[in-house]
Amino acid sequence: MSKAIKKGGFEVQPLETSRHNCKGWDTFAIRAGNNICLAVVGEVDRYYEEEYGEIAKLFAAAPDLLKALKVFIALDGDKEGIEHSRCRSVDCDLCKAFIQAKEAVAKT
């Protein structure tokens, strides 16, 4: 078993590299403090098997990403922040990012 990779507030722990006698079926545990398993990525099927490692890392980084998105959203009202986001132009990449950030945080 490989050593866990620390990402954000959680850790990614590689588990198996073969499952149900299928080599290359990698699975990963997402662990919080005190070695508590929050989820296992790749355990049920192999549909996204090539992405399981990246999915596990994204899951582990989620707490930090959520904090960053909240800071980004809070800048909207800050005079030195992102007042530009008020334009809400459909062609503005910064406005699109701001709207996507608000929608993502609303899911939490």
For the cut 70, the answer to whether the pLDDT of residue 77 exceeds it is no
Q: How far apart are CA 11 and CA 8, in angstroms?
A: 8
Domain ranges, ordered by start, for the chain? 5-106
Write down the pTM of the prediction: 0.60
Give the pLDDT of residue 2.
46
Residues 6+ away with beta carbon under 8 Å from 21: none
What average pLDDT does the chain have? Answer: 75
Of 79 and 47, more confident: 47
Give Cβ neighbours of residue 61 (< 8 Å, ≥ 6 apart).
Answer: 7, 8, 10
Residues of the chain with pLDDT > 70, as a percent, come to 76
Half-sphere exposure of 1 (CA within 13 A, CB side): 11
Task: Give the mean model confidence (pLDDT) for residues 44-49.
Answer: 72
Mean pLDDT for 25-50 is 81
